[in-house]
Structure 1
Amino acid sequence: MAAHRSGPLKQQNKAHKGGRHRGRGSAQRDGKGRLALKILSKKVRKELSRVDQRHRANQLRKQKKEAVLAEKRQLGSKDGPLHQVLVVPLHERISLPEAYRLLQDKDTGTVHVNEWGSTHSFMLLCPRLKHRWFFTSARPGDLHTVLDMAKVADTIIFLLDPLEGWDSTGDYCLSCLFAQGLPTYNTQQEAEVLLRQLANQKQRHLAFRDRRAYLFAHAADFVPSEENNLVGTLKISGYVRGQTLNVNSLLHIVGQGDFQMEQIDAPMDPFPLNPRVIKSQKDPGMAMEICAPDAVADMEEDLKVLMKADPDKQESLQTEVIPDPMEGEQTWPTEEELSEANDFLKKSSKVVKKVPKGTSNYQAEWILDEDGESGGEDEYDDIEHGDFIEEESQDEGSEKEEEEEYETMTMGESVHDDLDDENVDDEAEEKMLEKYKQERLQEMFPDEVDTPRDVAARIRFQKYRGLKSFRTSPWDPKENLPQDYARIFQFQNFTNTRKRIFKEIEEKDVEGAEVGWYVTLHVSKVPVSVYEYFKRGAPLIAFSLLPHEQKMSVLNMVVSRHSGNTEPVKAKEELIFHCGFRRFRASPLFSQHTAADKHKFQRFLTADVALVVTVYGPITFPPASVLLFKQNSNGMHSLIATGSLLSVDPDRMVIKRAVLSGHPFKIFTKMAVVRYMFFSREDVLWFKPVELRTKWGRRGHIKEPLGTHGHMKCSFDGKLKSQDTVLMNLYKRVFPKWSYDPCVPEPVPWMKSEISLAVPEVDME
């Protein structure tokens, strides 16, 4: 008998879900060997009682208080460096001698005055407060001096006019200082309260200097070399700040460059908080106080050498990779390889055609197939390669024309002198007007360019490509790199390298001069101009470099346009960068700040939106503040943008878009004839695979060319409007120019002339 089979109408009961009633075996099968989380006991979880929690909170509060007090004791005390105070008058009528007279009271402490050119400074030693200060001043018109001294100052004192507050120069100085990053600053009440406030205030930490050792030079000496008097050893004396200074690391002198150190000496502290009485070396019967640098030469104590450089451990000054010209070498093919290639080409190029009798091979190449196309499938590929060779000079000319199209020229601007009609430069005015027009056209028609009539579009845009989607379409960041990329360094993982270096700093694994020591650095192979720069009264500031920070790479910085500047700034225009402790000149690229792998190129520095600036520059580990300046024709530096360092990543792709536009000539529902996008049949066939779009949201593609003047039949996903515009997006990757220049000219002061200190006294509060 046949077995009974249940039909489709048989009742199906629900299976038991198990849930909390399932057995141990089913639970183990569902768990697939995974073990359940163990519940920690109260003792293992270290749950404290309410009394223990109160004790623990008191201990943490006490530890934080002791750490703050230890920091206050170290900064400005006898065991730490001098408390660096920068005095900045924000109005031209303010008298610096009057302000210093309030601080240099006899009841306050011992005062030692030093005058270095235009920078007036003095030491203030106060045994009663157990503190010592080093006061320096800088006029806001001297921009580089203000910014450089603010990099190493512990406190900034702003002097205001009681009636007007600050003038335009002071306002500009404040904008630059706030963008760079301010240490602790306060207002003046009276001298006694001010000094006590300076001694007890909580310090604000700046990240870019807390992880590096830095030094403000109180004294300097130069020893020329035997071979060349223009180069020698520069001896810099000052207090170590920030971190421990190692002699094998590189030293960056702000505005001068990177150098190596030979040794570090430890002389006697010339400004002790409690002066000692010793005998003079010249006259043993005469006693003297050690409280000034002049007394150092008479001390009966040998100079102590802390460290000497080890050539095996010393950092190299190599900034660029030396490219190997034979790295991309290709050997010449053998005769067998050439014959095989020719045979392959002959086989692949054989096409069967029906031709009249007596037709030559040359004439047969011009006969079209039945589908209206020529015989070879790779005909246009051959045309492409042929045009690349024959039109090479023409392509270079077109690239030059493209660069000339965005040529920039800055016009002088003065905040003090009004330009009369007789002094106006007509050519500069015309250039500036053209830049305003280009910026306006870019806002109205983003990235739209005209197809040239004298150059074939497939030649003019041969470096561009079409993308199905700008966001998701793949693009290899290692393809078609420029020759300059062979000169830079790149990290395998920049983030991990940065974390490792910062971890070593936090763990105090560096040997050398500790923070607060008064040392003398022997810097080798320094030009004599650096010493002359110091003798003229300019501040000499040195920062130790972290590993790899002397090497060149690609820097990406996030900046925002400064509200006080409205002139158009184009890409690849030379700007002045203040990046952390460095300053240099470069021609940057602008791109959108997005989280994608491709970033759209911006032709202008737009306002009210953050952009990414890309340049070739020395490696710097973030965080670091960034200031962008533009040098005018009159020598002044205008603040363009402010921001911070984003990353050091040569693989960040900046993609430039070119939009070709055409107009519908005839419309047949979803089909249309488009003209004025191209002007030859070959160009239409060349760009046939690229997708089309319209300003009203339609998408389509090219069906076939019509005629020989660039008309083409196109199909779209919907009915096209007569007032619509057909667009084609083309993309190419762009790279910054290698225009890095560490030499930045000194800016012209914003004031008309140097203001004498002997001005009428102003009552300051």
Structure 2
Amino acid sequence: MPQNKSHKQKFASKHAIAERQQGRAVTHPSGPKAAAPSHSKEKSRQAADAWRKKKNDAVLVQRRIGTVGAPKILGIVPINETANPLFVAAALESVVTGEDSSSPTYPRTIVSKSLKQRFTLVLENDGNEQRISDVGKVSDIMILVLDCSQGVQEAIQDLNEDAGGDDGMSGTTWFNDVGLCVTDTTREIVSTLNAQGLPSVTVVLQGLESFENSRKKLKTIKVHRRYFESVFGDSVKIFVHETDADIQTLLRTISVMHLRSLKWREFRPYFVVEEMAEVNDDFEVRGYVHGNNLSANQLLHLTDHGTFQISSITDIGDPHPLTRSAGVAKGLIDESTEESREPLTCIQASETVEDEGLATEADVEFEKAKTKKIRVPAGVSEYQAAWYEFEDGNEVPEVVAEPVEETPNDDDFMDMDALSYRTTQTDLDFLKAADVIRHERMTDEERLEEMQKLKDMSEEEMWNSDMVDTPVNLPARQRFAKYRGMKSFQTGVWDPNENLPIQYGHIFKLQGYNRVRDASIEKSSIGAAKEGMYVSIKLLGVSKEQRQAAAAAPFIICSAQLEHEQKWSVLHFHVQRNTELEGAIKSKTPVLAHVGFRKFYVSPVFSDPTVGDRTRFARFFHEGEKFRIASFYGPISFLPCPLLMFLVPSLEEQAESNSLRLACFGGALPPNPDLLILKRTVLTGRVAMINKKHSVIKYMFFNEDDVNWFKPVDLYTRYGRRGKILKAVGTHGLFKVALNDQIMQHDVICMDLFKRVFPKWTTVAFNSTDLAPAPSGNEEDE
């Protein structure tokens, strides 16, 4: 049967056109098949040319590293107990320079005339995991050295059979493949480097000359290639170190290797110290500037040794030039004054402490102007009135309790003292006489025993960490005096500036974070010490002990701080748990935090990830959970900035020479002291008597005053019922509730209370004394 053609909808009504435009002024072409503008192809061609030019410029910048600008930094580190990175570094230097150095010192820069490139060798020979992570922060290419000799393989096989070996090598391997020389130390180093952010990576296998069978040697190489490609990706390069020809192959590869950029260090000036000198009692550090430009007004941080002000910056000429005209010294290029230097002050003086907390007349007038009066039921205190929700504005108004004349109706049955709604029974008639006498005569021990019995018999299989038992011998209004109730966790009214600890008077808050960050980066980019210069920096305030510690260190990393990065605030980091760590991490546990180039001992507070102005406090970071927000006091670090947190070993573990364990890692979020970290506490009760419209609840409170105190807070049950407290029943904490549906006998009645939690002021710099001590008066205990 023929059908009509479908309507093409060539035309539309005015209403349909207005609906599509949605208020936008849209100009339609003249005709349904109007041609595109003639200049659209030209614009597309120009955009494609700009994109192509941008990519070509990026490739040129990559190729010029090590030739025109600063030399490439090669970080050579061991990743198992018997690897020898010093042998690889000496072989590289011998192939490039053609000379064998008897006692080389590192870091040092070598020049390859044939490849027309320069390399700075940074070496960590002791296998210290903390220093290996520091090498990864500054390296352009990481050279990981692994010993795969036949003796190591046999030792691992013996340890797999008998885990009680005492040669210091773990017997646990990743794949458990025969010939895989990967130990627990290897896995810890690999996970730490991956968590921090890896530059380009190459792996050098040592000890393969110990195999007489070439087939077994090829199998060993294949097994290790499979492992490292699984943890580093397909871009990792695997090399064998047996002869000088192998080192030449390695050198040619790293000279043309694509360098992976780390965004977090591109806008920060940093360098590896190649020389240290004391000139006229002034301490100077020298090296090639990497990253951004450097100014004398910035603060210079020496990793593990402290933060110092810069007196002057001098261009002393390139000591390792590729051409004769490249090593010309320019002399003094930048000098700072006392007024222009970034101050070392990390906290500010608290005005609240200075004026002894007394409000001025202006403060009183301002508070009066923004408050208003509301009507609340008679007998409600000012603290209880703060639990009521207000529909207009976020300000907590002034509460004036005024008597309200009440008239009995269907909605006010909860306020009648003599009779219950639609019944002739009194309140005490809801319970049997025997139950009333038993509850009145029960001792505290008997109440606790019955509560534990009900908890064991309940159907709650999973333990709720927020559930707290109400103390029997202490009034709940005193135990939970700092808590309050909210109808909604997300939209409930909470002033972020109320009841702040004394530490908030000493920290800073950035207004317009993105604008301040961009201005700080722009200010650093106009520094006199350009990227690639070999400079000598004169530091101020370096003590004798710090100079001796710096001289004894295997290498020193210097990084310039951006403006405002010395100031303290409440820092937040989005962290991920290390999957290889066993056990839960408790909030406020002391850890060692690597925040970019800086290190601090902190006690982080964990909370749920959020994008709003509040988050829920988490007591533990469990094994099954992947992400949390870690908050603690510390100096501001503009994002992007990586974070590594290591659990500090106990005294017993230190006696056994156990290293730090990576707990979690992540990246920085904008510092925000106003973020509300709310701790939830759930009070629970049991059903004592069920009626058609309301029920009687027990074991949530144990006296009548507590019931009246928490009466404004909403209730809910585990099975979804919601309601409110009507009135107390008797004098031992029983109370009557009205719910929106019939409750079941085995249901649990819950009440949510919230309290704001603040981090602990326990942050101290790692091996540093330049940070101010904490102000007196720590935050309140939980």
User: Fold conserved (TM > 0.5)?
Assistant: yes
User: CA–CA distance in 2 between the matches of 1:220 and 1:498?
Assistant: 32
- Match in the other structure for 2:113: 127
How much does 1:121 deviate?
Answer: 4.7
For 2:22 and 2:89, how far apart are their aligned partners in 1?
79
* Residues 502 and 276 of structure 1: CA distance in aligned 2, closer, same or farther (over 3 Å): closer
SS in 2 for 1:530: helix
Give the deviation of 1:736 after TM superposition: 0.7
Q: In the alignment, which of 213, 236, 243 is matched to residue 292 of structure 2?
A: 243
Could you tell me whether the CA contact under 8 Å between 2:475 and 2:706 is conserved in 1?
A: yes
Equivalent of residue 207 in structure 1, options 255, 263, 266: 263
Tell me the secondary structure at the aligned position of residue 662 of structure 2. Answer: strand
Query: Any conservation in 2 of the 1:695–1:725 contact (CA below 8 Å)?
Result: yes
CA distance 1:107–1:702, change in 2 (3 Å): closer
- The CA deviation at 1:490 is 0.3
User: SS of the counterpart of 2:541?
Assistant: strand
Which residue in the other structure is 2:138 paired with? Answer: 152
The Cα of 1:679 is off from its aligned counterpart by 0.8
2:685 corresponds to 1:668: no
1:590: Cα distance to partner? Answer: 0.8
- Matched position secondary structure for 1:159: strand
Does residue 446 of the first structure (1) align with residue 479 of the second (2)? no
User: Residue 336 of structure 2 aligns with which residue?
Assistant: 309
Q: 2:239 aligned to 185, 188, 213, which one?
A: 188
Alignment of 1:213-232 (within 5 A): 213-222=269-278
In structure 2, what is the Cα distance between the partners aligned to 1:223 and 1:676?
76
Distance verdict in 2 for CA 1:107–1:454, change over 3 Å: closer
Paired with 2:309 and 2:250, the residues of 1 have a C-alpha distance of: 40
Q: Secondary structure at the match of 1:311?
A: coil
- Equivalent in the alignment of 2:357: 328
Structure 2 letter corresponding to 1:591: S
Q: Is the 8 A contact 1:112 1:124 kept in 2?
A: no
Would you say 1:565 and 2:588 are equivalent positions? no
Answer yes or no: is 1:615 the counterpart of 2:671: no
Aligned residue number for residue 81 of structure 2: 92
Match of 2:147, SS state, is coil
Residues 305, 767 of structure 2: 8 Å contact kept: no
Q: Does structure 1 residue 48 correspond to structure 2 residue 42?
A: yes
Task: Please give the secondary structure, in 1, of the residue aligned with 2:707.
Answer: helix
Distance (whole Å) between structure 2 residues aligned to residue 442 and residue 477 of structure 1:
36
Counterpart residue number, 1:69: 60
Instruction: Choose which of 505, 524, 534 in structure 1 pairs with 2:540.
Output: 524
Secondary structure in 2 matching 1:596 = coil
Cα distance change, pair 514–331 in 1 and its aligned pair in 2 (3 A):
closer
Number of aligned residue pairs: give it: 585
Alpha-carbon shift at residue 453 of structure 1 (Å):
1.9
Residue 497 of structure 2 is aligned to residue 478 of structure 1: yes
Counterpart CA distance in 2 for 1:123 and 1:258 is 26
Give the 3 Å change call, closer, same or farther, for CA 268–651 of structure 1 in structure 2.
same
Determine the C-alpha separation between the residues in 1 that align with 2:123 and 2:754: 52
Aligned equivalents of 2:733 and 2:704: distance in 1? 5
Is the 2:124–2:554 contact (alpha carbons within 8 Å) kept by the matching residues of 1?
Answer: no
What is the CA-CA distance between 1:538 and the residue it aligns to?
A: 2.9
Q: CA deviation at 1:135?
A: 1.8
Q: 1:740 to 1:266 in 2, by over 3 A?
A: same
Q: Give the letter for the 1:210 counterpart.
A: E
1:109·1:127 contact (CA, 8 Å) conserved in 2? Answer: no
Q: CA deviation at 1:316?
A: 1.6
1:647, 1:740 → 2: CA distance?
Answer: 18
> Do the aligned partners of residues 690 and 38 (structure 1) sit closer, same or farther apart at CA in structure 2, a change above 3 Å counting?
same
- Return the alpha-carbon distance in structure 2 between the equivalents of residues 603 and 627 of structure 1: 20
Deviation at 1:302, TM superposition (A): 8.3
Pick closer, same or farther for the CA change 1:542–1:114 going to 2, 3 Å.
Answer: farther
Aligned to 1:694: 717
Asked if the contact 2:84/2:145 (under 8 Å) is kept, the reply is no
Note the residue ranges of structure 2 that are not aligned, 5 or more in a row: 1-10, 149-178, 203-237, 241-245, 362-377, 380-407, 409-414, 418-459, 769-782
Structure 2 counterpart of 1:673, one-letter code: V
CA contact (8 A) 2:586 2:619 kept: yes
RMSD: 3.5
For residues 254 and 31 of structure 1, the distance between their equivalents in structure 2, rounded to whole angstroms, comes to: 58
CA distance in 1: counterparts of 2:517 and 2:86, whole angstroms: 46
Percent identity of paired positions between Structure 1 and Structure 2: 32
1:585 aligned partner: 601
Per the alignment, residue 123 of structure 2 pairs with 137
Q: Counterparts of 1:97 and 1:317 in 2: how far apart (Å)?
A: 38
Q: Superposition pairs for residues 616-765 of structure 1, below 5 Å?
A: 616-633=633-650, 634-635=653-654, 636-743=659-766
After superposition, what is the alpha-carbon deviation per residue over 1:195-254, rounded to whole angstroms, capped at 9, x for unaligned?
1221112211111210011111001124686xxxxxxx4200000110110111111111
For the residues of structure 2 that align with 1:21 and 1:651, how far apart are their CA atoms? Answer: 51
Q: Distance in 2 between matches of 1:699 and 1:580?
A: 48
Q: Counterpart of 2:189 in 1: which secondary structure? A: helix
Q: Partners of 1:276 and 1:473 in 2: how far apart?
A: 69
Residue deviations 1:543-565 (CA, integer Å, cap 9, x gap):
11111100000100111111111
Tell me the alpha carbon deviations over residues 336-357 of structure 1, each in whole angstroms, 9 at most, x when there is no partner: xxxxxxxxxxxxx99xxxxxxx
* Residue deviations 1:382-421 (CA, integer Å, cap 9, x gap): xxxxxxxxxxxxxxxxxxxxxxxxxxxxxxxxxxxxxxxx
State the secondary structure of the residue aligned to 2:542.
Answer: strand
Instruction: After TM superposition, give the deviation of residue 653 of structure 1 in Å.
Output: 0.6
| 2:570 counterpart of 1:554 | yes
Shift of 1:666: 1.3
Cα distance between partner residues in 2 of 1:444 and 1:90: 41
- Does the 8 A contact of 1:84 with 1:152 survive in 2? yes
Contact 2:80 2:146 in 1 (8 A): yes
Bigger CA radius of gyration: 1
CA contact (8 A) 2:567 2:636 kept: yes
The structure-2 alpha-carbon separation of the partners of 1:646 and 1:67, relative to structure 1 and needing over 3 Å to count, comes to closer
For 2:102 and 2:323, the matched residues in 1 are separated by 18
Deviation at 1:130? Answer: 0.5
Structure 1 runs not aligned, ≥5 long: 1-18, 226-232, 278-289, 291-300, 333-348, 351-369, 374-440, 746-765
The residue number in structure 1 matching 2:27 is 37
Residue of structure 2 aligned with 1:489, choices 508, 525, 529: 508
- Match in the other structure for 2:441: none
Q: Which amino acid aligns with 2:674?
A: D
SS of equivalent to 1:467: coil
One-letter identity of the residue aligned with 2:645: L
- Structure 2 distance, partners of 1:310, 1:112, is 43
Question: In structure 2, what is the Cα distance between the partners aligned to 1:489 and 1:213?
Answer: 24
In structure 2, distance between residues paired with 1:443 and 1:487:
42
Give the 3 Å change call, closer, same or farther, for CA 705–57 of structure 1 in structure 2.
Answer: closer
Three-state SS of the structure 2 residue aligned to 1:601 is: strand
Higher relative contact order (CA 8 A, sep 6+): 1
Q: Secondary structure at the match of 2:751?
A: strand
Q: Secondary structure at the match of 1:188?
A: strand
- Which residue identity is paired with 1:94? A
CA distances 1:121-171 after superposition (whole Å, capped 9, x unpaired): 554321111011122221473122111121111110112233433322122
Q: Which residue of 2 aligns with 1:80?
A: 69
1:287 paired residue number: none
**1:467 aligned partner, one-letter code:** M
- Give the Cα separation in 2 of the matches to 1:501 and 1:70: 24
Q: Is the Cα–Cα contact under 8 Å of residues 293 and 529 in structure 2 kept in the other structure?
A: yes
Look up the SS of the partner of 1:47 in the other structure. Answer: helix
Amino acid in structure 1 at the alignment position of 2:248: E
Partner of 1:167: 183
Which residue number in structure 1 is paired with residue 322 of structure 2? 273
Q: Residue 107 and residue 462 in structure 1: after superposition, are their counterparts in 2 closer, same or farther (change >3 A)?
A: closer
Residue identity opposite 2:124 in structure 1:
A
1:680 deviation in Å?
0.8
